[in-house]
């Protein structure tokens, strides 16, 4: 059995042009494992803390040299000679070593890099594909009898609005979901085709959020597919970004509106007219009353997803369960810190009949770990962003490989 020989880390640049952690683990048989971790956007509720250098002379204070030094000089040396198959023990040790509720001592990113490394090294040592190792770890922690006979349903982002978007609109992401009757490979192909076709047809000429929704419906038809049967609509609203003083401001309304009027707009102009399958964060992340009211109004066939509402936080997840605020949740390892903690959140969600969406994060790398994780954890849906750019397609392409590995026939 090979043990950990050395763990090192260094600073690389992520998809948003800022530093993140690249880490390497060498086993005693000289096999090397590499990972690179995503970065947070910096949410308004600050539930977890990435360790950043705060040195304004480098990368606007967003360097990660301190986190790198913690891995090289503090944590890595203490793991020399340890078996990588001790994932649970190592993750618990990392949590204890940090000792804070929000990972502020060692940093969320520091812990995530090591937990990723251990998982990859364990899968190698146990001669298991990474997704099968994650599944075996999940079963060890929470015996549920989950199977590996299908992949999560992919959600593809066609256009992005919000503050980082390609179009000057309020809603964060305009998405499509191919039918669950499609194989993953066919879903991927259709997602890529629609991504390009909507650009050819409309060239970003949109004045209102609902213009994009209508364009998606028309694009699906022009592709020879049936909207609402072959392809379904998804919208990630990111509503906290256009909520101020308990009023929502969107271009589709001439002035800011209170929550009840905004909910009526969603119900009449979007939900009833376009029958979305998934709506994520349609309300502010602290508008608990609005969430509960919307969840009671909409059809149970629609997935109402709490993303920023949850923030991959156990306390907020438990509150959502208690108040029945939504029917599905987005969980991101990059907002949690360790693999075992993340699996714990997924288990809580599943035990309480909440569907699970696994998502990549704001600033990504070409590491495909999360693709294997989503399959091994039995996620219902995945969203790795638009089906373009290296950091996204590395993950979507890995799902193609996994589809072949588990012998799902296209």
Residue positions in the annotated binding site for Mg(2+)? 236, 307
Place of tokens 């690389």: 12
Burial 321-355 (b: 16+ CB within 10 A, else e): beeebbbbbbbbbbbbbbbbbbbbbbbbbbeeebb
Q: CA 175, CA 160: separation in Å to the nearest integer? A: 9
Unique residue bearing structure tokens 């809580």: 348
Helix (H) or strand (E) holding 35: strand 32-36
* Pair 59, 37: CB distance under 8 Å: no
Cβ proximity of 75 and 110 under 8 Å: yes
Helix (H, G, I), strand (E, B) or coil at 82: coil
Rg (alpha carbons) of the chain, rounded to whole number: 21
Proportion of the chain in helix, strand, coil states, percent, rounded to 5: 45, 15, 40
Q: Tokens standing for 169?
A: 């609109």
Q: For the residues of 167-223, what is the DSSP string, one character each?
A: SS-SSSEEEEEE-TTS-HHHHHHHHHHHHHHHHHHHTT--SSHHHHHHHHHHHHHHT
| Alpha-carbon gap, residue 406 to 354, rounded angstroms | 26
d(CA 234, CA 277): 6
- Strand pairing class (153-154; 243-244): unpaired
Please enumerate, by residue number, every residue annotated as part of a binding site. Answer: 236, 307
DSSP letter for 152, please. Answer: P
How far apart are alpha carbons 219 and 198 in whole angstroms? Answer: 6
Q: How far apart are CA 185 and CA 98, in angstroms?
A: 41
Specify whether the CB–CB gap between 108 and 49 falls below 8 A: yes
Distance CA(83)–CA(316), nearest Å, equals: 34
361 close to 38: Cβ distance less than 8 angstroms: yes
């Amino acid at each position: 059995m090979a043990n950990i020989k050395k763990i090192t880390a260094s600073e690389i640049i992520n998809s948003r042009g800022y530093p993140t952690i690249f880490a390497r683990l060498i086993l005693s048989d000289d096999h090397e494992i590499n990972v690179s971790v995503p970065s947070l956007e910096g949410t308004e509720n600050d539930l977890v803390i990435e360790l950043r250098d705060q040195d304004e002379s480098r990368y606007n204070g967003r360097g990660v040299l301190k986190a790198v030094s913690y891995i090289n000089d503090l944590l890595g040396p203490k793991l020399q000679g340890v078996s990588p198959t001790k994932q649970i023990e190592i993750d618990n040790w990392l949590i204890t070593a940090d000792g804070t509720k929000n990972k502020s001592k060692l940093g969320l990113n520091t812990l995530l890099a090591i937990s990723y490394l251990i998982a990859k090294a364990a899968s190698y040592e146990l001669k298991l594909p990474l997704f099968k190792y994650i599944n075996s770890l999940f079963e060890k922690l929470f015996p549920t009898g989950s199977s590996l006979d299908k992949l999560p349903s992919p959600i593809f982002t066609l256009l992005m609005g919000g503050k980082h978007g390609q179009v000057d609109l309020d809603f964060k992401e305009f998405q499509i979901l191919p039918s669950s009757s499609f194989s993953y490979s066919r879903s991927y192909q259709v997602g890529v085709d629609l991504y390009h076709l909507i650009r050819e047809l409309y060239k970003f000429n949109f004045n209102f959020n609902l213009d994009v929704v209508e364009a998606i419906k028309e694009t699906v038809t022009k592709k020879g597919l049936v909207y609402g049967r072959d392809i379904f609509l998804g919208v990630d609203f990111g509503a906290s970004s256009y909520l101020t003083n308990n009023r929502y401001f969107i271009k589709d309304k001439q002035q800011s509106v209170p929550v009840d009027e905004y909910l009526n707009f969603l119900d009449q102009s979007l939900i009833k007219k376009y029958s979305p399958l998934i709506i994520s964060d349609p309300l502010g992340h602290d508008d608990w009353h609005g969430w509960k009211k919307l969840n009671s109004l909409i059809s149970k066939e629609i997935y109402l997803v709490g993303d920023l509402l949850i923030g991959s936080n156990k306390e907020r997840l438990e509150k959502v369960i208690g108040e029945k605020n939504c029917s599905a949740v987005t969980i991101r390892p990059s907002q949690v810190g360790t693999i075992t903690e993340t699996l714990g959140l997924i288990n809580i969600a599943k035990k309480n009949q909440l569907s699970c969406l696994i998502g990549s994060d704001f600033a990504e790398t070409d590491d495909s770990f999360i693709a294997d994780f989503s399959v091994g954890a039995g996620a219902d849906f995945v969203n790795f962003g638009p089906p373009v750019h290296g950091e996204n397609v590395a993950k979507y392409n890995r799902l193609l490989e996994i589809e072949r590995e588990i012998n799902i026939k296209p």
